[in-house]
Amino acid sequence: MSSRIIPVQPFDYVVFGATGDLTRRKLIPALYHRFKDAQFDEQSRIIGVSRTKLTDAEFQKAARDSIEQFVEPEYRDAATIDRFIGCFSYVANDVTNEANWGDLSKKLRDDPKIIRAFYLAIAPDLFGPTCEYIQKKKYYRRDARVVIEKPLGHDLASSMAINDAVSKIFKEDQVYRIDHYLGKETVQNLLALRFANILFEPIWNSAHIDHVQITVAESVGAGTRGYYDESGALRDMVQNHIIQLLCLVAMEPPASDDANALRDEKLKVLRSLKPVTGADVARATVRGQYRAGSVDGAAVASYQDELPAEKKGSHTETFVALKAEIENWRWSGVPFYIRTGKRLPSRASEIVIQFRHIPHSIFDHAEGAPRANTLVIRIQPDEGVKLFLMIKDPGPGGMRLREVPLNLSFAEAFAERTPEAYERLLLDVVRGQQTLFMRRDELEAAWTWIDPIRDAWNASPDAPQQYMSGTWGPTAAIALIERDGRTWHEDGN
Ligand code: BG6
Instruction: Give the per-residue pLDDT at 493.
Output: 55
Q: What is the Å distance from ligand 1's center to 290 Cα?
A: 17
Query: What pTM did the predictor assign?
Result: 0.95
Sorted by sequence, the CB contacts under 8 Å of residue 262 that are 6+ apart come out as 251, 254, 435
Is 236's C-beta closer than 6 angstroms to any atom of ligand 1?
Answer: yes
Instruction: Give the per-residue pLDDT at 492.
Output: 59
Strand partners, 321: 286, 339
Q: What is the Å distance from ligand 1's center to 185 Cα?
A: 15
Q: What is the Å distance from ligand 1's center to 5 Cα?
A: 27
Q: What is the Å distance from ligand 1's center to 19 Cα?
A: 20
Q: What is the Å distance from ligand 1's center to 304 Cα?
A: 20
Instruction: Give the per-residue pLDDT at 1.
Output: 42
Domains of the chain as residue ranges with CATH: 11-149 (3.40.50.720), 182-420+432-482 (3.30.360.10)
| Atom 14 of ligand 1, residue of closest alpha carbon | 181
* Number of Cβ within a 10 Å radius of residue 219: 18
* DSSP code at position 340: E
Q: Which of 33, 154, 211, 241 is catalytic?
A: 241
Of all atoms in ligand 1, which is nearest to the CA of residue 228?
8
Q: What is the Å distance from ligand 1's center to 180 Cα?
A: 9
Is 383's C-beta closer than 6 angstroms to any atom of ligand 1?
Answer: no
Please give the Cα distance from 324 to 480 (Å, whole number): 12
- Spatial contact of 210 and 233, defined as CB atoms under 8 Å apart: no
What is the best residue among 150, 214, 236 to mutate for testing ligand 1's pocket, by most ligand atoms within 8 Å of CB?
236
Please give the Cα distance from 309 to 166 (Å, whole number): 36
The pLDDT profile of the chain, 493 residues, written as one tens digit per residue, is: 445 788 999 999 999 999 999 999 999 999 999 999 999 999 999 999 999 999 999 999 999 999 999 999 999 999 999 999 999 999 998 888 877 777 899 999 999 999 999 999 999 999 999 999 999 999 999 999 999 999 999 999 999 999 999 999 999 999 999 999 999 999 999 999 999 999 999 999 999 999 999 999 999 999 777 789 999 999 999 999 999 999 999 999 999 989 999 999 999 999 999 999 999 999 999 999 999 999 989 999 999 999 999 999 999 999 999 999 999 999 999 999 999 999 999 999 999 999 999 999 998 877 778 999 999 999 989 899 999 999 998 888 788 899 999 999 888 888 788 899 999 999 999 999 999 999 999 999 999 999 999 999 999 999 999 999 999 999 999 999 999 999 999 875 5
Of all atoms in ligand 1, which is nearest to the CA of residue 241?
3
Strand partners, 404: 389
* Number of Cβ within a 10 Å radius of residue 86: 11
Please give the Cα distance from 123 to 223 (Å, whole number): 19
Instruction: Give the per-residue pLDDT at 178.
Output: 97
Please give the Cα distance from 13 to 43 (Å, whole number): 12
Please give the Cα distance from 465 to 462 (Å, whole number): 8
Q: Which of helix, strand or coil describes residue 48? A: strand
Q: What is the DSSP string of 68-122?
A: HHHS-GGG--HHHHHHHHTTEEEEE--TT-GGG----TTTS---TTSEEEEEE-S
Question: Which strand (E) or helix (H) includes residue 402?
Answer: strand 401-409
Is 218's C-beta closer than 6 angstroms to any atom of ligand 1?
Answer: yes
Is 420's C-beta closer than 6 angstroms to any atom of ligand 1?
Answer: no
- Spatial contact of 124 and 153, defined as CB atoms under 8 Å apart: yes
What is the best residue among 218, 244, 346 to mutate for testing ligand 1's pocket, by most ligand atoms within 8 Å of CB?
218
- HSE of 344 in the Cβ direction (CA atoms, 13 Å)? 22
208 is catalytic: no
Nearest partner of 237 among 347, 157, 142, judged by Cα? 347
Instruction: Give the per-residue pLDDT at 244.
Output: 98
| Atom 13 of ligand 1, residue of closest alpha carbon | 181
Is 317's C-beta closer than 6 angstroms to any atom of ligand 1?
Answer: no
| Atom 15 of ligand 1, residue of closest alpha carbon | 218
What is the best residue among 180, 186, 317 to mutate for testing ligand 1's pocket, by most ligand atoms within 8 Å of CB?
180
Please give the Cα distance from 326 to 275 (Å, whole number): 9
